[in-house]
Amino acid sequence: MRIDVMKTYKLFINGNFPRSESGRVYEITDAKGKFLANPCSGSRKDLRESVIAARAAQQGWSNATAYNRGQILYRVAEIMQGRREQFIAEIMAQEGATLAAARAQVDSAIDTWVWYAGWTDKIDSISGSTNPVSGSFYNFTIPESLGVVVIFADSKPSLLNLAAALAPVIASGNTAIVIASQKYPLTAITLAECLATSDVPAGVVNILTGKLDQFVTWVGSHMDIDGVDATGLATRDLAELKELGSENLKRIYAFNEAHSTKRITNFMEAKTVWHPIGI
Amino acid sequence: MCKAIHPDPMDLSVPSVGAICVYNDMVKVARTALDLGGGQNIPVAAVATAFPSGRASMEVKIQDTKDAIANGATEIDMVIDRGAFLAGKLGLVSDQIRAIKEICGSQAHLKVILETGELVTLDNVRKASYLAMLAGADFIKTSTGKVAPAATAPVVYVMLEAVRDFYKMTGLRIGVKPAGGIRNTKDAIKQLVLVNEIAGPEWLDPALFRIGASALLNDLLIQRMKMRDGYYASPNYVTLD
Amino acid sequence: MSKFEYAPAPESAALVDISSEYGLFINGKFVAAKSGKTFITTNPATEEKLSKVAYAELADVNLAVTAARNAYVKTWSKMPPAERGKYLFRIARILQERTREFAVLETLDNGKPIRETRDTDIPLAAAHFFYHAGWADKLSYAGYGANPKPYGVAAQIIPWNFPMLMLAWKIAPALATGNTVVLKPAETTPLTALLFAEVCQQAGLPAGVVNIITGDGGTGSHLVNHPGVDKVAFTGSTGVGKAIAKAIAGTKKSATLELGGKGANIVFEDAAIDEAVEGIVNGIFFNQGHVCCAGSRLLVQENIQDELLEKLKSRISLIRIGNPMDKNTDLGAINSAAQLSRIREIADSGDIEGATRWSPDCTLPKSGYWYPPTIFTGVSQSHRIARDEIFGPVLSVLTFRTPQEAIEKANNTPYGLSAGIWSDKGSRILWTAKHLRAGVIWANTFNKFDPASPFGGYKESGWGREGGRHGLSGYLKGQY
């Protein structure tokens, strides 16, 4: 009788898989209460390191051509497709989903990721513009990525929520820190493994697991975070986040739809440039 | 110095290097060693004028240059005052070059290091190239090798255009030395192609073109072995010094 | 002084497997032409035969259009858009994988340098598929209504100057918007289109969505006139474009036309001269000048004319003309004997009409079709070499004194495809761009293409745009 090699789940920071600097973990059981894993209980310092990594990676990622970012995102989808069975197994175990439901979720997550991969080189065409101002000026508005964005991933369906939140944020050139669902964190780490093997530069995506309410406080008050996707937060946590976040005017949003260009454009800034026209 | 004269001790047909470039306090040592080893024809170049930063008084820079020449250097590689250049004090930059050139006289040729990595824009590289040539540079050199980026293709391209145009205007051919970041044979060949296509074949001569590099030498030897033998060589078969 | 000769750097023809014979790609399979007729395609650099391809006549065109119609009705129009997109992503990725093979084949069949096919043509073609793949399920965002619909069956006829790239410009948007296609490559350059059929098979593209039929102008005519075709897309000469417009008049068909040009490359006195020289050289000698948007008229401000021409001639003297399979080569072969003859005829008119011809000394290979890089100075607007598209490596040089004069001369043509502007002054660039009647304007650069950037001409340079959000409208019903 063959014994399986049991998988260990660590954090994903700056392209590496370290354990939490706090050394803490917490227990995850499957839907039936059987032990699944001891994912890391991420600390404030882990968040700090993630923000540093995300900030360092941001300029390079946003300077990459839209085509290049689109290629890399599509490659992530190729790798996700390759790991389909692993995702299905983890979703069934954590979420108690049926095989059919897990399959449908994984396929939908991959397709959602592909949908966003195809936006990198088109979003400017629909949200930028040339503006017919009065006077002999050329005036144009370009959307630009915001910077470093934290994502509070909603709980289930875990992979679909992750894909719908993360892909649009990084498509435009932002870098991200994902705070995984506290109840179903393993999906996020397996997704990290996909990111690590598909040419996504180190630091562009960082993934932390752990106790959600602690992260709300740390993220809300960190002055070097520009935006937050708070879709996964309950009302009370969202209020706390917004209150703390007002200190540096973080852009904080929650979304209802998996496929929405708002998830891209809300984390962009519009830059308008004027230049005279004349000989 | 042995390596400078016979880069590959197993194959004495490999030509010696174009020059040895050292700090001032090693000029005498280098010259002596070269002469003892049969390298009388290899010049010693000294990096002078408070290399690499150039942050010292003019008196110190002048003395630095005089010492180097007295010790046997026949090439002086000076650095320009980048701060003055970027602040628009072009007259000051020019005067400093002229002063050093005067000391070199007929004893040493003068290479002017622009430190293109600090000049940043190609417009600045072009401007600095003209300034140096007008002030008497015999060679314009990209970098000290202490700052990246150094001798990138665009930078060398612009400097070659400058020497080409300067020749058309004055009839004088000024040399170009890319230095820093040229680590392998392929990079070096790209540089030679740039010279050939932009300045012209007349510049393919040690009197007008030098590559400033250290690690490059062993890579050249390794590639040479591969061409000769038909299979990939190993660093074990070239000497460190 | 030493001389630096470059060793030959030949790419290997063995990278591609050319069959001795090809059929027509209809309904997912290769089939012989009904009549059994074939024709030869050769390598214009050597005049050697490359392969034998099928000659499609009316019966074959009928088969292909029917296959495209069936595929549209039964499969493609019923497929969710995201799934359509995934086929295009697959095609893009396979093209990327097989780039080197396609580059070699394109160079052998077309005569253009390997550096160009390897670095420009094929990568751009793959990029077009990748870009348009992403539009398939986003059409409601494109500004054409909530639920824009395709035409159905698109007939696409492409030229010989950028065979694979033109194929991508046609097929990618057509499929992304939900149409099926019948594409006819040019008769002198069929091979990469036929290899592309293999890529469609590898990607699992449903049969009949893409059909490739080889033939000549007669084949194209049958295709355009076929009643089962809803949309015509043509890139080629203005003469044929006009014939197509006439042929479909009164029918339900609509057409996109990418036709000829006589682009003005305007160099102002404050231009960065060395950069402008590179831009002029690229503008007329890239792809041997076989470019609809070539900068074939140099409009140089009179006060810098002498300096510019001197630098230009020095630069042109460094151009390497020769074996297109050699990676050192800059200028390749002229695509056919017929094209060479046309170039000669029009260029010779320059001598006859009193312009001054100049070419560098260069040795042309003994076999194959070759024309040296050539410039004519002392040209005015009435010269034939200033009016007619030569489609070869021949530049006509005119001068101007004021920006207004530059605009007038640049616009004084029935064409309106492209123009170039060289100046260091932003406001001048924008002013000039504003007044030029041209669909593609390059400022301080030239010959830049991107799937996200719309391309197309004013006036007799054609109808419609390809690429970008604008390019989608050509394949969406009811836009025009």
- B151 and B183 in contact (C-beta within 8 Å)? no
* Confidence category of residue A155, pLDDT binned at 50, 70, 90: confident
Radius of gyration of chain C (CA): 22
Round to whole Å and give the CA distance between C357 and B118.
Answer: 46
Percent of chain C's residues with pLDDT above 90: 98
C258 annotated active-site: yes
Q: Is residue C22 part of a domain?
A: yes
Inter-chain contact C142–A70, Cβ cutoff 8 Å?
no
Q: Tell me the three state secondary structure of residue C190.
A: coil
Token pair recorded at residue B219: 């890579």
The Cα of B158 is separated from the nearest Cα of chain C by a number of Å equal to 10
The helix (H) or strand (E) run that includes residue A136 is none
Q: Tell me the three state secondary structure of residue A251.
A: strand
Q: Is residue C480 part of a domain?
A: no
pLDDT of residue B71: 95
pLDDT of residue C1: 45
Give the DSSP letter of residue B172: -
User: Residue C465 pLDDT > 90, yes or no?
Assistant: yes
pLDDT of residue C189: 98
Each residue of C124-143: pLDDT tens digit? 999 999 999 999 999 999 99
Round to whole Å and give the CA distance between B112 and B93.
Answer: 11
pLDDT of residue A255: 96
Query: Based on the domain organization, do C214 and C268 belong to the same domain?
Result: no
10 Å Cβ neighbour count for C342? 17
Round to whole Å and give the CA distance between C1 and C118.
Answer: 35
pLDDT of residue A268: 98
* Confidence category of residue A40, pLDDT binned at 50, 70, 90: very high
CATH class of A28-276: alpha beta
CATH of the domain at C157: 3.40.605.10
Cβ contacts (< 8 Å) between B173 and chain C: which residues? Answer: none
Q: Cβ-count burial of A176 within 10 angstroms (0-12 exposed, 13-18 middle, 19+ buried)? A: buried
Each residue of B162-182: pLDDT tens digit? 999 999 999 999 999 999 999
Question: Can you give the residue ranges of every domain in chain B?
Answer: 43-228
Cβ contacts (< 8 Å) between C2 and chain B: which residues? Answer: 201, 204-205
CATH class of B43-228: alpha beta
Each residue of B72-85: pLDDT tens digit? 999 999 999 999 99
The helix (H) or strand (E) run that includes residue B40 is none
Q: What value does the mean pLDDT take over residues A131-159?
A: 96
Residue tagged 């949003």 (tokens): A253
CATH of the domain at C354: 3.40.309.10
Q: Is residue C6 part of a domain?
A: no
Round to whole Å and give the CA distance between C135 and C126.
Answer: 15
Token pair recorded at residue C219: 């084949």
Q: Is residue C5 part of a domain?
A: no
Best residue in C4, C6, C275, C277 for a mutation probing chain B (most B CBs within 10 Å): C4
Query: Based on the domain organization, do C286 and C390 belong to the same domain?
Result: yes
Each residue of B63-72: pLDDT tens digit? 999 999 999 9
Domain count, chain C: 2
Inter-chain contact C6–B201, Cβ cutoff 8 Å?
no
Each residue of C148-168: pLDDT tens digit? 999 999 999 999 999 999 999
Q: What value does the mean pLDDT take over residues C95-109?
A: 98
Query: Based on the domain organization, do C198 and C175 belong to the same domain?
Result: yes
Which entry of B8, B77, B81, B219 is annotated as an active-site residue? B77
Question: How far is C-alpha A66 from the chain's CA centre?
Answer: 18
pLDDT of residue B241: 85
Mean pLDDT across chain C:
97
Between chain B and chain A, are at least 3 CB pairs below 8 A?
no
Round to whole Å and give the CA distance between A36 and A33.
Answer: 9
Q: Which residue of A has its CA nearest to C86?
A: A114
Go through C210-233 and write b for each residue having 16 or more CB atoms within 10 A of its CB, e for each that does not.
bbbbbbeeebbbbbbbbebbbbbb
Cis peptide upstream of residue C159 (ω within 30 degrees of 0): no
Q: Tell me the three state secondary structure of residue B146.
A: coil
Sheet holding C38-43, edge to edge: C21-22, C48-54, C38-43
The Cα of C427 is separated from the nearest Cα of chain A by a number of Å equal to 5
Token pair recorded at residue C446: 């030239």
Percent of chain C's residues with pLDDT above 70: 100
Q: Is residue C3 part of a domain?
A: no
C287: left (phi over 0), alpha (psi -120 to 50) or beta: left
pLDDT of residue A154: 84
Round to whole Å and give the CA distance between C480 and C463.
Answer: 10
Each residue of C49-63: pLDDT tens digit? 999 999 999 999 999
B111 annotated active-site: no
pLDDT of residue C2: 53
Each residue of B188-235: pLDDT tens digit? 999 999 999 999 999 999 999 999 988 999 999 999 999 999 999 999
Each residue of A100-117: pLDDT tens digit? 999 999 999 999 999 999
Domain housing C254: 13-259+459-475
* Confidence category of residue B1, pLDDT binned at 50, 70, 90: confident
10 Å Cβ neighbour count for C99? 18
Round to whole Å and give the CA distance between C85 and A85.
Answer: 24
Q: What is the pTM of this model?
A: 0.96
Long-range contacts of C448-451 (CB under 8 A, 24+ apart): C449/C124, C450/C124, C450/C127, C451/A121, C451/C124, C451/C127, C451/C128, C451/C130, C451/C131, C451/C132, C451/C172
Separation in Å, CA B43 to CA A172, B33, C81: 56, 12, 72
Residue tagged 């004028």 (tokens): B49
| Amino acid at residue number C19 | S
- C125 and C95 in contact (C-beta within 8 Å)? yes
Question: Can you give the residue ranges of every domain in chain A?
Answer: 28-276
Inter-chain contact C427–A74, Cβ cutoff 8 Å?
no
Asked if A17 has any chain C CB less than 8 Å from its own CB, the reply is no
User: Residue A180 pLDDT > 90, yes or no?
Assistant: yes
User: Residue A68 pLDDT > 70, yes or no?
Assistant: yes
Inter-chain contact B204–C318, Cβ cutoff 8 Å?
no
What ipTM does the predicted assembly reach? 0.94
Each residue of C236-248: pLDDT tens digit? 999 999 999 999 9
User: Residue A162 pLDDT > 80, yes or no?
Assistant: yes
